[in-house]
Amino acid sequence: MKNWISRLKSFFLKKDSEGSLRETLEELIEEEEVEDNSLAPDEREMLTNILHLRDLTAKDLMITRAEIIGVPYESSLDDIKKVFKTNKVMRLPVYRQTLDDILGYIHLPDLLDVPIKEFNLQEYLHKIDFISPSMRVLDLLLQMRSSGEKLALVVDEYGGVDGLVTMGDLVEEIVGDIQDVAHLSAAPDFFRRPDGVLVVDGRMDIDDLETQVGPIRTTEEKKEDIDTIGGLVLHLTDRIPQRGELIPHSPPIEFEIIEADSRRIKRVGIHGLKS
């Protein structure tokens, strides 16, 4: 396969003239069609999709204001989790009184293992960009790639919120529906090591885990508001344990902290489960 991806990347690494992207893509597609068939049909379709993005604006792709799902700044952690669960989204804008006063957004993985007593919404707010409805989609894609932000609010000339655009919306315009691809490439939620220890993603829903491997929580723990296996470990320690720590539970179960950072438990080893 020709190194078309590298040539395309070079465009995104530098600013160029108005017609550069169109010319680059047309040249790549033409070369591949004339010289050989090494460019797969889906790859050619992606290049064509990018070419068509040139004339699209943020207004063309945005979620309208009426469809935006957000949470008030005063929301409790329980209320926020319910909104995430009900709407099956990964990010939520946070506002004061109305959507015209948005402070930022929150990301679901940041909140999964946060103790309720220690929750301070301000600590988990991410920056959100404000853009014009007429901003070109390709310019927005480059801006998001540069800033690392995943959401942008579309605002009118008076500063009112018209809609919202996500990085996922932009990527799907190029590669199509990415949900199945993400599912296929995702790491497994859990697996057994040769020594019999069950290695689990700290964000895995504890109800789902117990359905597959049997009971882990005690009767008392089932009465607590614990959603994930990482949350159970936090319940036991009341802190973020360090990598390598062994956290005792009701015999014979013991938790091994395989991976963690200063904010959450990423991966847990569960000792003592029946094979």
Q: What does the pLDDT read at residue 1?
A: 43
Q: In this model, does residue 179 exceed pLDDT 60?
A: no
pLDDT bin (cut points 50, 70, 90) of residue 186 is very low
CA distance 248 to 212: 22
Q: Work out the mean pLDDT of the chain and round it to a whole number.
A: 77
Q: Which pTM does this prediction carry?
A: 0.52
Q: What does the pLDDT read at residue 55?
A: 73
HEC readout, 51-93: HHHCCCEHHHHCEEHHHCCCEECCCCHHHHHHHHHHHCCCEEE
Q: Strand 129-131 relative to strand 102-107: parallel, antiparallel, unpaired?
A: unpaired
Mean of pLDDT values over 9-35: 48
Counting residues of the chain whose pLDDT is more than 90, the rounded percentage is 22
Q: What does the pLDDT read at residue 103?
A: 93
Counting residues of the chain whose pLDDT is more than 70, the rounded percentage is 73
Q: In this model, does residue 207 exceed pLDDT 70?
A: yes
Structure tokens at 55: 């004339």
Q: What does the pLDDT read at residue 53?
A: 65
Q: Which fold has domain 59-180?
A: CBS-domain (3.10.580)
Q: What does the pLDDT read at residue 139?
A: 84
Q: What does the pLDDT read at residue 253?
A: 93
Q: Where are the CATH 3.10.580.10 domain residues in the chain?
A: 59-180
Q: In this model, does residue 35 exceed pLDDT 50?
A: no
Mean of pLDDT values over 35-44: 53
CATH architecture of 190-271: 2-Layer Sandwich (3.30)
Q: Where are the CATH 3.30.465.10 domain residues in the chain?
A: 190-271
**What are φ and ψ of residue 264, in 5° steps?**
-160, 160
Q: What does the pLDDT read at residue 50?
A: 63
CA distance 238 to 248: 13
